[in-house]
Amino acid sequence: MLPLRDVNPSTTAPILTGILIAVNVGVFWHYSDPELLQEAIYTLGYIPAEGFTLKKALTSMFMHGGWLHLLFNMWTLWVFGDNIEEALGKVGYALLYVGS
């Protein structure tokens, strides 16, 4: 089931949610060129066999496997992100996003 909306209206503008969506879409669009995508997978994506690096842990959260993956993730972020951003504040929300 695809959530179309939530029932908890937000009283503040979801600025950070909008920024996160824009960054995710921008990164996806930038790396849509097959040559750039191959490079991005190895330089930005998390590859378990290579072990943990903080850089890849942070950059891999902006990588998506295709348009549908991006669309569903961004839709869910839009539907629920405003309430989470309002409840946790921008710093708490950013920490949750980066830490998850």
Q: Which residue has the higher pLDDT, 20 or 36?
A: 20
pLDDT of 36 over the 70 cut: yes
Q: Where are the alpha helices (DSSP H) in the chain?
A: 15-30, 34-43, 54-59, 67-99
Q: Say yes or no: 57 and 87 in one domain.
A: no
What integer pLDDT is reported at residue 58 of this predicted model? 87
Residue 9 is predicted with a pLDDT of 74
Residues 44 and 72 in one domain: no
79 token code pair: 């539907």
| Structural domain includes residue 47 | yes
Amino acid letter, 1: M
Tell me how far apart the alpha carbons of residues 42 and 16 are, in angstroms, rounded to a whole number: 28
Quote the pLDDT of residue 1.
62
pLDDT in tens, 38-94: 888 888 888 888 888 888 888 888 888 889 999 999 999 999 999 999 999 999 999
In a domain? residue 78:
yes
Measured N-to-C along each axis, helices 67-99 and 15-30 cross at an angle, to the nearest 10 degrees, of: 130
Q: What is the mean pLDDT of residues 2-31?
A: 86
The domain of 58 spans 31-63
90, 16 contact by CB (below 8 A): yes
- Asked if residue 72 belongs to a domain, the reply is yes
